[in-house]
Amino acid sequence: MEKMKNTSMFDLSGKVAMVTGGNGGIGFGIATELANAGASVVIAARNTSKSESAVLKLTSMGATALSTELDATDENSVQSAINMTVSRFGKIDVLVNNAGTNIRKFPQEYSIDEWGKVLGTNLTSMFLCSREVHPHMAQGGGGKIINIGSMTSIFGIDWGAPYGASKGGVVQYTKSLAVAWAKDNIQANTILPGWIHTDLTSKIKTEHPERYSSITSRIPAGRWGEPPELGGTAVFLSSSASDYITGAVIPVDGGYASF
């Protein structure tokens, strides 16, 4: 009797994943778990030395990983990074649009340049990266696009109107991709991180401890999340286990959105 093969719907062996902004925080947490699941990972970000350090960590785990310089708001830079990835691996199976930024002010205090910077980094970058990866995925028989939104995709915030506007746009843009590219066997989904410990949020704890405590008390899980805790959802959405899921919005927030 032939022995049954040990296979898993979550196995990403042979898959190639690009993670924008993948050299730290949520991006690196996702990149690590994709690598643990067997994917070859491309770290695409502006800070090349930080990206090289991230790649060293991944390769020390036995993963196949490399970095490429990427300004996700620049069309030529996006094309160059994707072309490099395809040249090196022959394909891209998974794109994680994670690059993002925030400027914390009240709505009336933003300049037009600040508004443009936040929307460009958080939303326009997804358009550019997704558009450029589409022909490669379509010609290769399909792919997975994972866009990183935020709890502010569904909640208003007083100190980050451009951020909230951009992250709300992420959800609707993802749904448009899901509808348009289903015929190409490309699934597009959104992850909504809750309060996660990253460099972007670290100042809240140190400079605004009362706000930090107030936020924590509002989270049903009773704590903030850590970057690797986004990785399991990303692996699921990158794998064949999610082939019939597209246009979905999945909070990973310790229950914050349910409170």
The residues annotated as belonging to the active site are: 163
CA distance 142 to 181: 9
SS3 18: strand
Decide: 175 and 233 in contact? Cβ < 8 Å: no
CA distance 117 to 99: 12
Q: How many Å is the Cα radius of gyration of the chain?
A: 18
Question: How far does CA 136 lie from the centroid of its chain?
Answer: 19
Helices (H), 47-90: 48-60, 75-89
